[in-house]
Amino acid sequence: MSARIPSGTRDVLPEERAELRRIEAALLGVFSDSGYGEVSTPTVEYQETLQRAGATATPVSYRVLGEPGEELALRSDMTVPIARVASSRYRDAEMPLRFCYVALAYRAVTPHRGQPREFLQAGVELIGAEVISGCAETLTVLCRAIEASGLKDFYVGVGDSALYPSLLASCGVDPDASETVLKELGDRDYVGIDRELRALDIAVDQIDLLTKVPRMRGAEVLSGSLDPALDSAVSSIRDLVGSLEPDVAARMIPDLGRFPRMGYYSGVVFEVYDPRLGEPIASGGYYADLLGRFGMPVGGVGFAIDVDLLHAALAGEERGETGR
């Protein structure tokens, strides 16, 4: 009987590995040309280090028993290890810092649903840059890198995770009630959002606005005239998209309802969609506080491309499948 491997892991054989290698090389080529230096960090870290990212960050799923007394864990992404590297080795360096990586990361999955526990990510972190220009730079690198891999048809959903919470606050919704609405928004349960909003003791036109905003998405969101309360709330997304080169801007899909349930993102967030795939192939965003947790009070912005999903997207495009 042959030995098995855990559900959610797989062996990569030469034919596939060669294709993945070509994709990695294309991505790293763009990262490098854009001034990002490649780094490697340990696959296992102290659990305490990874958990500094906070309770809402991607949970550490695999704990490893080290030498007696050592609590180690497998990294769930590369953003936290790079924050650690920056804070320990580049504390006094001139900002901004530019790092890139191709690395394996580990997450818990529901068994036997075809989700990977171990997955290959390629990405960048830009540390200590100004928010809008930093996001514009990484979004440009993201699009150029995916284009270099050969993928033609893809879109980038751009949201602002601070938008809806600040809109709730400006409508006078108290923090506890906001939390309830935000939980439904994180699940994208519009029936739940509407139910929670109707239960609020606020003006009818404010309920209308709060009901409408999470549904607003698509290029036309920024072109139409907006409610004054909303107009200032979308300024970060509008400024960002406005500062991009036209061909990059054309890929952007503003999404006012985007509110990631988990993570250290605190402002602009983005996700890459391929019309042939049911799930995003890359995601990223701006984080204001992560480095502060390592004693380096600067913000950062980064993204991670799921290399296996990008590979699947390329294979779909090659087969000439139409975007359903």
The correct pick among 46, 62, 90, 155 for binding another protein (CB under 8 A) is 155
Query: Which DSSP letter does residue 173 get?
Result: -
Q: Does 66 bind another protein (CB under 8 A)?
A: no
Q: Does 222 bind another protein (CB under 8 A)?
A: no
Residue 98 or 276 having the CB closest to another protein: 276
Q: Does 108 bind another protein (CB under 8 A)?
A: no
Of 12-20, 29-37, 51-59, 270-278, which segment contacts another protein by CB under 8 A?
A: 270-278
Q: Does 270 bind another protein (CB under 8 A)?
A: no
The SS3 assignment for 191 reads: helix
User: Around Cβ 245, how many Cβ atoms within 10 Å?
Assistant: 12
Of 126-134, 135-143, 188-196, 283-291, which segment contacts another protein by CB under 8 A?
A: 188-196
How many CA atoms are closer than 13 Å to the CA of 102, on its beta-carbon side? 16
Of 54-62, 99-107, 272-280, 299-307, which segment contacts another protein by CB under 8 A?
A: 272-280
Amino acid at 312: A
CB 100 within 8 A of CB 26: no
CB 64 within 8 A of CB 73: yes
Minimal distance, residue 69 CB to another protein, in Å: 35
What are the angstrom distances between the C-alpha of 193 and each of 159, 167, 184?
Answer: 18, 14, 5
Q: Does 189 bind another protein (CB under 8 A)?
A: yes
Minimal distance, residue 130 CB to another protein, in Å: 27
Q: Which of 164, 157, 117, 195 is nearest to 259 (CA)?
A: 164
The correct pick among 110, 198, 201, 225 for binding another protein (CB under 8 A) is 110
Of 23-31, 169-177, 197-205, 277-285, which segment contacts another protein by CB under 8 A?
A: 277-285
Interface characters, 25-64, with another protein (x: CB under 8 A): ----------------------------------------
Q: Does 217 bind another protein (CB under 8 A)?
A: yes
| Cβ-Cβ contacts under 8 Å for 68 (sequence gap 6 or more) | none
Q: Does 275 bind another protein (CB under 8 A)?
A: yes
Q: Does 280 bind another protein (CB under 8 A)?
A: yes
Task: State how beta strands 97-106 and 37-38 pair.
Answer: parallel
Query: Which DSSP letter does residue 292 get?
Result: G
| Cβ-Cβ contacts under 8 Å for 232 (sequence gap 6 or more) | none
User: Around Cβ 179, how many Cβ atoms within 10 Å?
Assistant: 13
The correct pick among 42, 172, 295, 323 for binding another protein (CB under 8 A) is 323
Q: What is the dihedral sign for C-alpha 180, 186, 191, 194?
A: positive
- Between helix 204-212 and helix 163-170 the angle, nearest 10°, is 180
Q: Does 253 bind another protein (CB under 8 A)?
A: yes
Minimal distance, residue 18 CB to another protein, in Å: 27
Q: Does 278 bind another protein (CB under 8 A)?
A: yes
| Residues near another protein (CB under 8 A) | 110, 155, 157, 187-192, 215, 217-218, 253, 255, 273-280, 323-324
